[in-house]
Structure 1
């Protein structure tokens, strides 16, 4: 009887694992429209430390058909925290237009996606690159949160807040 119950429990766990998600990947692919693509690529690769893993274009006709833009081609650069199939994508694209809203000073200045959080093994290498590239630090540099965790807040060139959390 115990063997039967054990087999039943294991079978239910395995079936539950397969039925739990309707998503084919646990990664999220985020598209970010920026004013200056090269400036943003430089920030995310040389300051934050992301890796460029690809790029693609979508022509004007396809963009209109797909409901992405009304009259623009999209040239997209794909960045990741690590070059693996499981990593989330940070897709940068520029339409060659200026933002229609002012750059936020605080997360409370606008609605919509305002920030991302990056958890790191050590905050000091990123802090060093932030200072070398003269990126304005919005938090105390860095702030202490919890036991053995530091917090650093900066903004990308278009105003998206980047929280960086990890030990020194």
Structure 2
């Protein structure tokens, strides 16, 4: 009787632990992020020429699919796919525009709104990105770059639509 109870408890513990041993219902380790922007050209310029992302593709959401899927109320849009590098393992940063400004005010700080407020990008060297963003007249927030530790600095900026971008890495 005691042995049977121990077996049941052991099976229960193993059953509870299985999901933490790499069992997953996901087909990818990354999350694709869709970002609605006011001006697609301005945003692509910021992310490609400022941050250093690469354009890896694009696709169209037509009126019918937009309505059937619930993405839009029947409005078509083009989606531009950017990545940190052109590889299947890199996250999709999908930009789309409906050629209008957002209906909420541009946040000054991350606590000003709810929802996705910032992304973090780990970089090999911050200085080239800092130089490009300064050339584009992008405002740096706070006292950035600011040291995090002996090997890494932190830079905080906003994209043209107010989404916060934190960049972390060594200066050189």
Backbone CA RMSD of aligned residues: 1.6
Provide the rounded CA distance (Å) in 1 between the counterparts of 2:19 and 2:37: 41
Cα-to-partner distance string for 1:120-162 (whole Å, 9 max, x where unaligned): 0111111111111110000323101122210000000000000
Aligned positions, number:
154
Gaps of 5+ in 1: 1-14
Gaps of 5+ in 2: 1-17
Partner of 2:38: 35
Residue 16 of structure 1 and its aligned partner are, at CA, apart by 8.6
Aligned pairs (5 A) from 1:16-165: 20-165=23-168
Residue 19 of structure 1 and its aligned partner are, at CA, apart by 5.6
Partner of 1:5: none
Provide the rounded CA distance (Å) in 2 between the counterparts of 1:148 and 1:19: 32
Provide the rounded CA distance (Å) in 2 between the counterparts of 1:20 and 1:146: 35
In structure 2, the residue corresponding to 1:82 is in which secondary structure?
coil
Provide the rounded CA distance (Å) in 2 between the counterparts of 1:19 and 1:126: 36
Provide the rounded CA distance (Å) in 2 between the counterparts of 1:99 and 1:44: 19
**Which runs of at least 4 in structure 1 moved beyond 2 Å after TM superposition?**
15-19
Alpha carbons of structure 1 residues 19 and 110: separation in structure 2 relative to 1, 3 Å: closer
- What is the TM-score when the length of structure 2 is the normalising length? 0.85
Structure whose alpha-carbon radius of gyration is higher: 2
Partner of 1:10: none
In structure 2, the residue corresponding to 1:25 is in which secondary structure?
coil
